Structure 1
Amino acid sequence: MSHATATTAFGIGTLAQRAGCQVQTVRYYEQIGLLPPATRNAGNQRRYDNATLRRLTFIRHARDFGFSVEAVRELLGMADHPNMPCDHADVIAKRHLDEVEARIARLSALRDELKRMVAQCAGGRVDECRIVEVLSDHQQCLHAAGHGGQQTIR
């Protein structure tokens, strides 16, 4: 990312609005070092430039893709050095893709189990309800069988 500063300076509310996030998000990213500390005007108000807007947009977009804060930090470090090879960016993206695919597999198993429970529910009384029965006894869950009963959906 370029660190060239633009002559246009704007406040935190404008920055947040242009990047499509909340003011608290801007402050948080400054606090954890993803954004550089803002310059201040004579009234001690934060002032930002277009380079900061581009950096915040990059962060927000990466977070929308589900990248962790640490992965975003690494990606920003690479973006700050545009002439370096992108091998490590590929590794980060591949690792994240693997995590997303694992999450999709867990959610698919959850969906299938919920469909099965709903299909087997007779709609009678609670003491005969297949949904309550399965939720009461984890051994009856199909998705638990392949995961030692320790499957957690996040």
Structure 2
Amino acid sequence: MDTPATRRAAILQGALIPIGQLAREAGCKVQTVRWYEEVGLLPPAARTEGGHRLYGRPHRERLAFIRQAREFGFGLEAIRRLLDLATHPKCPHGDAHALAVSHLAEVEAKLRRLAILRDELARLVDAGCDGASSECRVLETLADHDHGHCLSAAQAAAEGAVTK
């Protein structure tokens, strides 16, 4: 039974911690904890008589899971699904693998786009900007909002492959 007396006892035993301590232990901001709770990734916290949030071990473990999934770059909906799978240990976890495979494909596509971007930036830097700003290739490229002149054949092919 969740009563003020049981909450006080839990706090004294270190079973429940305030939001600031949870955030510090998880390496995130208090606002992040509140937001995860607001969007339903973290279950609602117990409250003191004064309305302060108190979190227990399940909150700590779930927040650690969320933070780890974010480190891997998973989006909120994927994390929501992964949390659902993690809380139902008897369910087949092929979905978790499928989410990871899909995410890996997204990461690889981003890496291809970043490699193209790196090469294009290196080309711009190599062109130099030693003269007047009116002759600067970087400024000229950035001013051309169509970017048609800076699309190399490799970039155009990769962009087509990424969007298909």
Indicate the TM-score class for this superposition, using the shorter chain for normalisation: 0.7 to 0.9
Q: Name the stretch that deviates more: 10-19 or 117-126.
A: 117-126
Whether 1:128 and 2:139 are equivalent positions in the alignment is: no
Report what 1:37 is aligned to.
Answer: 44
Whether 1:46 and 2:53 are equivalent positions in the alignment is: yes
Count of matched residue positions in the alignment of Structure 1 and Structure 2: 143
Matching residue within 120, 145, 150 for 2:156: 145
AA matched with 2:156? A
Shift of 1:122: 5.2
Structure 2 unmatched ranges of 5 or more: 1-9
Report what 1:84 is aligned to.
Answer: 91
Whether 1:105 and 2:112 are equivalent positions in the alignment is: yes
Distance 2:58 2:149 in 1: 55
Scaled by the length of structure 1, what TM-score is found? 0.85
Distance 1:114 1:12 in 2: 44
Higher relative contact order (CA 8 A, sep 6+): 1
Please report the RMSD computed on the Cα atoms of aligned residues, expressed in angstroms: 1.8
Distance 1:129 1:47 in 2: 57
Aligned 8 A contact 1:9 1:48 in 2: yes
Matching residue within 92, 102, 110 for 1:95: 102
Distance 1:79 1:103 in 2: 27
